[in-house]
Structure formats: structure tokens, C-alpha cells
Amino acid sequence: MPTSPLHACFMAVIQCIPTGQVMSYGAVARMAGMLRHSRHVGVALRNLAEGVDVPWWRVVNSAGQISPRGLDGHDDLQRVLLEAEGVRFDENGRINMKHFGWYP
């Protein structure tokens, strides 16, 4: 369950990201009508309750990379989930946002 109405807006946007595509934190914030609130998108995802059906792995940073989270293993899991959906990474761990980015 989102912790605030703002977080609920972000989750609604993230729910719409199609399989095999990604959005940046900033793009999620913009689509939710909250320009320049990309950090809040990260907070919303960090506070996501276990078992909530939101495709969190489809949100990456503006460089098309998985944002490091430390030693919890979610970085590796995010890459595995994205690759399973057909998203490809270059040799520097970046996603081609022109190809895999979703910009409705």
C-alpha cells in the first residue's frame, strides 16, 4: 500500500510501464504531474511493501542504469528481471533509453 497520495500517483504510473520497457525516476515523476520529484519516486519504491504487485524493476536512473542500492541484492535481481523481459544492457551496464524507454 502506498504511504501517501503522492506515492500512489507514482505507483499508478509505474503500473502502466509495459513489459520490456523502462522509465526513469524523473519521467515517472513528470507523468504523475510532479515535475522535479524524481527522488520521491525512489522513496516511494524503497517504501513499497513486500508482495505489492508493482513492476518496480522497470524504473531506472536517467542514464539508463540501475541505481545502486547497496548490498541487498536488488540490483542484480532488477537486471535479471529486465533481461527476462528482453531489455538489453550495453557493456557499461546501460540501457538504450531510445529503444527501451517508455514515453507515453
Residues linked to residue 24 through DSSP beta bridges, in sequence order: 60
Band (3; pLDDT cuts 50, 70, 90): low
CA dihedral 102, 20, 58, 71 (to 10 degrees): -140
Could you tell me the CA-to-CA distances from 55 to 5, 11, 94, 97 in Å, in that order? 18, 9, 19, 17
Show the domain range for 11: 5-100
User: What is the pLDDT at residue 71?
Assistant: 55
Domain count, the chain: 1
Q: What is the CATH number of the domain that holds 60?
A: 1.10.10.10
Q: How many CB atoms lie within 10 A of CB 5?
A: 7
- 24 neighbors 35 (Cβ within 8 angstroms): no
Q: What is the pLDDT of residues 20-75, one digit of tens each?
A: 999 999 999 999 999 889 999 999 998 888 888 999 999 999 999 999 876 566 67
Q: How confident is the model at residue 2 (pLDDT cuts 50, 70, 90)?
A: very low
Is pTM beyond 0.85 here? yes
